[in-house]
A = this chain, B = another copy of it.
Amino acid sequence: MNRRPKIKDIAEALGVSSATVSRALSGSDLVTEETRARVREAADALHYRPNASARSLRTARSMAVLMVVRDVGNPFYLDILKSVEATARAAGYSVLMGNTENDPEREIEYFDMLRDGHADGMILMTGKLPAQEGARNRLPPNAPIVVALETIEGSGFPHVQIDNVAASCEAVEHLIGLGHRRIAHISGPVPEVMSLRRQEGYRRAMRNAGLAIAEGYEQRGDYLLHGGAAACKALFELAEPPTAIFVANDEMAFGAVHHLREIGRDVPGDVSVVGFDDLYLSEAFYPPLTTVRQPRTDIGRKAMGMLLEMLSGAAVPREPVVLPATLRVRGTTAPPKTE
C-alpha cells in the first residue's frame, strides 16, 4: 500500500473498528490501556497522520488563527507575530498571515476567511472595521476576534493595547523637563485613531506646561522612513524651527534623524528627537534612540491568550486591556542649547 494511511487502514491491520482507533489516538479512556498502546504502535509504524480537513470538517474547527496586520513588511509586527505564534502553537493552533495594505476590500476577505472556517479566530491589528456595513453584520454576535494595538471604536471586540495618550504625554514631558519649549510633533496618518491619540498626548503635555504649539509644528506623517524625513524637512524650513521633535513612531524618527544629519544639525546637540515603539534595532542606532517602548511581546501573548479563551467559550473583559508602555531615555535627547 502506498497511499496515505487512514484510520481504516490501522483498524483493519489490527482487526478493530475505526471508532476504536479514533478513540485510542485521541487518548480517550474509553479504550483499554492495551488497545491504546497497540493502536499507537501501529499508527507510528505506518507513519499515520490524521487528515486535517476531514478532522476540521467533522469537528468544525480549523485549529488555525488569523493574524491580520496593515503591512506584513513592517518590522514593528515582528515581536508580536513571534509571541502570537508561540502562544498559538503551545495551544495547538497554527497562524495564518493576513495583510490588508490598508485596503478595506482585503480586510473583508479576512473576515470571510473566518466565516468560511479557514480560521477559528482572528487577531486584528488594523485600525478599523471594513466600511461595508455588511461585513460587520455578517459576524456572529460573539465572534472570536481580538483587536490588538489599535482601537476599533464601538465594535464591542475585546482590545489589548497601551495608553497611547498617556505614553505620548510622558514622552513630551520628558522633552519639556529637559528645558525644551519649541517642541514639534510628527504624527501618523490622522485621522486614524492611534495617530490621533498620540497627537492628543502631545497636545495635552504642551497644554499642561502652558506651551503654545507654533504654526506648522504639527506635521502629518505616514509612519514610514521617508515620511519622517519629509516632515522633518518641512519643520526645518520654518522661520523658527523646533529644538525638539516628538515623532509618532521610530521608523519616522530614524528618517527625521537622518534628515537632520544631512542638513548639518547634531542630534541631540542641536535638536532632540523622541520616537515611539522601540524597534529591535533602535538601541543599536546612532545615537541610540530615546523612545517609548511598547510591550509588543506581551501584547501578542495577551491578545492570543484572550483569543484562546474566547475559543474555549470563556468570557473575556469588555474593558480594553491596557498594558504599560515605558519611556526609554537614550541618546537622542538632551537639554536645548543655551544661546
Contacts and interface: CB of A to CB of B under 8 A. Distances in A.
Interface string A268-282: 000000000000110
A330 to B, nearest CB: 12
A42 to B, nearest CB: 16
Contact of A72 (B60, B82, B261): B82
Given A47-B134, A78-B73, A52 B118 contact: yes
A280 B75 contact: yes
Contact of A118 (B94, B138, B257): B94
Contacts of A284: 225, 254-255, 257-258, 285
A314 interface: no
Interface of A: 4, 47, 49-54, 56-57, 60, 62, 64, 71-75, 78-79, 81-82, 85-86, 89, 94-97, 99, 112-113, 115-118, 134, 138, 225, 251, 254-255, 257-258, 261, 280-281, 284-286
19 contacts: A47-B138, A49-B112, A49-B115, A49-B116, A51-B57, A51-B117, A53-B54, A54-B57, A72-B81, A75-B75, A78-B78, A85-B97, A94-B118, A95-B97, A96-B96, A96-B97, A225-B281, A225-B284, A284-B285
Given A4-B115, A81-B97, A254-B284, 10 more contacts: A47-B115, A51-B116, A52-B117, A64-B96, A73-B78, A94-B118, A95-B97, A97-B97, A257-B286, A285-B285
